[in-house]
Amino acid sequence: MKHIVTVQDAVTAFADFMEPTSAELDAIELESPVILAEVDLLDAQIKAMDRPANEVDARRIRRALNRVLAARRDLVNRTATTSLPGGAA
Report if residue 87 sits inside a domain: no
pLDDT at 75: 94
pLDDT at 12: 58
- Domain of residue 26 covers 21-80
pLDDT at 1: 64
23 backbone dihedrals φ, ψ, rounded to 5° = -65, -40
Report if residue 26 sits inside a domain: yes
The whole-angstrom separation of Cα 26 and Cα 82 is 13
Report if residue 15 sits inside a domain: no
pLDDT at 79: 82
Report if residue 11 sits inside a domain: no
22-49 and 55-80 helices cross at what angle (nearest 10)?
160
Q: What stretch of H or E contains 75?
A: helix 55-80
Report if residue 74 sits inside a domain: yes
pLDDT at 64: 97
Please give the DSSP secondary-structure letter assigned to residue 76: H
Total domains in the fold of the chain: 1
Report if residue 28 sits inside a domain: yes
Report if residue 72 sits inside a domain: yes
Report if residue 47 sits inside a domain: yes
Q: What is the pLDDT along the chain (89 residues), one digit of tens a residue?
A: 676 666 665 555 556 667 888 999 999 999 999 999 999 999 999 999 988 889 999 999 999 999 999 999 999 998 887 665 655 54
